[in-house]
């Protein structure tokens, strides 16, 4: 019996416990690929496990767990076809309000964790002439109010991804960036919980400055959960980015991401400021 190339290679998906990561692992498996799915808890892995999905405990802020993943791939012996750097968190609050520890946590997960995983797996990807997929965001091209930390981490990831693509192209490794807009995922809901906690901790003066804005941002996030792209639909684009023979350098997910990334390129800053403010204005509480 002939074995397909897909079943003879591995794809790593980080942040696969829920949302787009879990959906992407399942989509890749359905396409015949063997997936190492990074999860935070064994219970999450139990829900994902199948003939083509092997859950692996992976916190991308843990150097030991990243090293264990690299060792597992070396011991497996199959070539590493792609790494999908999907893990992420969202921490939303005004720059003045957000504690520095939360800034560091945001960057540790959304930026430094991805860099460390990529560094650890690059030797295997170079041998196989594989693919790196970086999960950025609409927030990696457009920074809305209260998204300073989140967008900062994603802007940084976009810059490094561009640099990495140019470094690795001569060596046969391709790099693709995926920029989702509104997607119905657990990350959005968890980000809302964090935003409410941070909002509740604002001083009276900060609340006067930013209370209405935080209310509007939370209402907008609830709209994402209600009206955003389904994670399983997003997973199809991510799987294409990981496996297409000739990948694009950037993929967007959702009409909002396609439209706003285009507007961010062509509109003057002040005009874009007014567009974003007008979208939030109806969501502010009535005075």
**210 a catalytic residue:** no
Which burial class, exposed, middle or buried, applies to 14 when counting CB atoms under 10 A from its CB (0-12, 13-18, 19+)? buried
Residues catalogued as catalytic: 150
């Amino acid at each position: 019996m002939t074995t397909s190339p897909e079943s003879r290679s591995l794809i790593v998906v980080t942040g696969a416990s829920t949302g787009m990561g879990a959906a992407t692992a399942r989509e890749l498996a359905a396409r015949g690929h063997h997936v190492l799915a990074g999860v935070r808890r064994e219970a999450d892995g139990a829900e994902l496990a199948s003939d083509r999905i092997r859950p692996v405990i992976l916190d991308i802020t843990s150097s030991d767990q990243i090293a264990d993943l690299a060792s597992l791939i070396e011991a497996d012996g199959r070539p590493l076809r792609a790494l999908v750097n999907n893990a992420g968190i969202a921490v939303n609050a005004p720059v003045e309000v957000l504690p520095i520890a939360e800034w560091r946590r945001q960057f540790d997960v959304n930026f430094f964790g991805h860099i460390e995983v990529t560094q650890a797996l690059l030797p295997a990807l170079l041998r196989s002439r594989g693919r790196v997929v970086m999960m950025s965001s609409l927030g990696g091209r457009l920074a809305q109010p209260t998204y300073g930390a989140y967008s900062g981490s994603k802007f940084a990831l976009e810059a490094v991804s561009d640099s990495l693509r140019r470094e690795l192209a001569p060596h046969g490794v391709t790099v693709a960036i995926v920029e989702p807009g509104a997607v119905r995922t657990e990350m959005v809901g968890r980000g809302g919980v964090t935003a409410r906690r941070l909002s509740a901790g604002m001083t009276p003066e900060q609340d006067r400055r930013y209370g209405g804005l935080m209310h509007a941002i939370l209402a907008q996030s609830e709209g994402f959960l209600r009206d955003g792209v389904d994670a399983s639909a997003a997973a199809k684009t991510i799987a294409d980015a990981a496996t297409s023979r000739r990948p694009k350098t950037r993929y967007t997910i959702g009409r909002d991401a396609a439209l706003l990334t285009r507007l961010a390129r062509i509109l003057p800053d002040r005009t874009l400021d007014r567009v974003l403010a007008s979208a939030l204005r109806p969501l502010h509480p009535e005075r």
